[in-house]
Amino acid sequence: MLAPPDTVDIAGVLSAVTGSCSVVGHADEVPAALATAFATLHRGLPAAVLLPKDVQSAPGPELRQLHPGEWVQHGIGVPGPTLFAVADELCALAESDARLLIWVGDEASRAKAGRPVEALADALGAVVVAAPGGRDLLRDADGFAGVTGVMGHPSAHRAIADADACLVLGCRMTMTDRAGLDEALGRLRLIHLGAEPPRMPGDVDHVPCTDLAAAISRLAGGVRRRLGHDRPREAVSVTHLIVPPGRAGLDMRTAVEEIGRALPPDTPVFADAGNAGAAAIHHLPCGHGRFVVALGMGGMGYAIAAGIGNAIDSAACEKPKRTVVIAGDGAFFMHGMEIHTAVEHSAPVTLVLLNNNAHAM
């Protein structure tokens, strides 16, 4: 075909594969489009905002920082009797010496639910595992068994296999979260709390809630009142996959562990796809700030743009935090020149490239 079509209906294309697609025709429409996009992201769905070049270069309204409360429904969104019934079932399981497991995901991470999750785990004597997106809720301590999924830890998979019941908090149990675990999960009693239902086939009781941290706090309080005291947590620890030795030089595990030791407290970390991201998910010490796995559509380089975006947002805060991006040579090949955006906006970001030449890039 020598004559190309006049245009492609990009809005129609993106609307079919996202939770929302906004086409901005004037700069004044940007705030509403962003609010729609953020509300969509909060539901765990991708969002698209189409900004034509003339709108990008036009003077726009002063954009204030949007806060989650502006697009999130208020209240925990769980009827009291439903939450009490969940608490009663968990207490009955704990009193029968059943092995309880708590599985946290990216929604719990976004909700900053670390303390409520720990309180609930202490009350029940439960082991905690995390999907890759909920990794920042783990601690280097007893009772935390590591990360699940294809990039996860043997100890986390063993904890799921050994459990009698699993309370899933803000983890949609996608293939990335549960790879290799379907058979073990099929034998478990599964209760899921979160804004959206899980993506796991099979028998899962979904309890929808709009404020996950508040729901977990109320659940922990109800469990503690009934049980009267915290139950001892199992002395599990994280075990790692054994990697065959490579050629001489710095290996990925050593590099990532050194990065972890150098990170200041509460540092947000963005991990890319591929070998570098898998190494960060598997080996980065726990206990830092927000940990985001920026897979995009599964290709390399999305973490660079995501981390720079987070750093630009942080630069507008009274006390900006430096963002650290861990990526590989393939990611830099794809999106490395986004660093120009970071320089333009004075964004506090550190880009760590693990160049193992895995893709000869």
The CATH number that applies at residue 207 is 3.40.50.1220
pLDDT recorded at residue 71: 46
333: domain CATH number is 3.40.50.970
On whether both 304 and 174 belong to a single domain, the answer is no
Of 212, 227, 242, at which residue does a domain stop? 227
On whether residue 258 sits in a domain, the answer given is yes
Please say if the pLDDT value at position 117 is more than 80.
Answer: yes
For residues 165 and 266, state if they share a domain.
no
- The verdict on residue 268 lying in a domain is yes
pLDDT at 131 over 70: yes
Could you tell me which of 75, 82, 74, 107 has the C-alpha nearest to residue 222?
A: 82
186 and 94 together in one domain: yes
pLDDT of residue 56: 86
User: Could you tell me the pTM of the whole model?
Assistant: 0.86
- Establish if 241 belongs to a structural domain: no
Q: Is the domain of 103 the same as that of 161?
A: yes
* Stronger pLDDT, 316 or 191, i.e. the higher one: 191
The reply to whether 195 and 308 lie within a common domain is: no
Mean predicted confidence (pLDDT) in 308-325: 92
The helix or strand, by DSSP H or E, that contains position 302, with its residue range, turns out to be helix 302-315
Asked whether residue 29 falls in the same domain as residue 90, the answer is: no
Average pLDDT of the segment spanning 254-266 = 93
Q: Which residues pair with 350 in a beta bridge?
A: 324
pLDDT tens digits, one per residue of 3-53? 666 778 899 999 999 999 999 999 889 989 999 998 898 777 899 999 998
Q: What is the CB neighbour count within 10 angstroms for residue 98?
A: 17
Boundaries of domain holding 28: 14-61
* DSSP for 73-140, written as a single string: PSS--S-HHHHHHHHHHHHHHHHTT--EEEEE-HHHHHTT-HHHHHHHHHHHT-EEEE-GGGGGG--S
- The contacts of residue 303 (CB under 8 Å, 6+ apart) are 270, 271, 272, 273, 277, 292, 293, 294, 325, 326, 327, 331
pLDDT single digits (tens) 218-251: 999 999 999 988 999 988 989 998 877 767 678 8
Is residue 246 in some structural domain? no
Establish if 275 belongs to a structural domain: yes
- Domain identity same for 261 and 154: no
Identify the CA nearest to 360 among candidates 330, 338, 334. 330
Distance between CA atoms of residues 300 and 271, nearest Å: 10
Residues 188 and 267 occupy one common structural domain: no
Average pLDDT over residues 250-267: 92
Residue 75 domain flag: no
Shared-domain flag, residues 222 and 86: yes
Q: For the chain, what percent of residues have pLDDT higher than 90?
A: 62
69 occurs within a structural domain? no
Write the pLDDT tens digit of every residue in 341-359.
Answer: 999 999 999 999 998 776 6
Residues 154 and 49 in one domain: no
**pLDDT value at 143 more than 70:** yes
Is residue 66 included in any domain, yes or no? no
Each residue's pLDDT tens digit, 64-100? 655 555 545 545 667 677 888 999 999 999 999 999 9
What stretch of H or E contains 356? none
Q: Coil, strand or helix: which one is 269?
A: strand
Does residue 165 sit in the same domain as residue 220? Answer: yes
pLDDT, greater one: 295 or 76: 295
Average pLDDT, the chain: 89
Q: Identify residue 249 by its one-letter amino acid code.
A: G
Mean local confidence (pLDDT), 136-142: 91
201 versus 125: the higher-pLDDT residue is 125
Q: Are residues 199 and 306 in the same domain?
A: no
Write the CB contacts of 259 (distance below 8 Å, at least 6 apart in sequence).
Answer: 284, 324, 326, 352
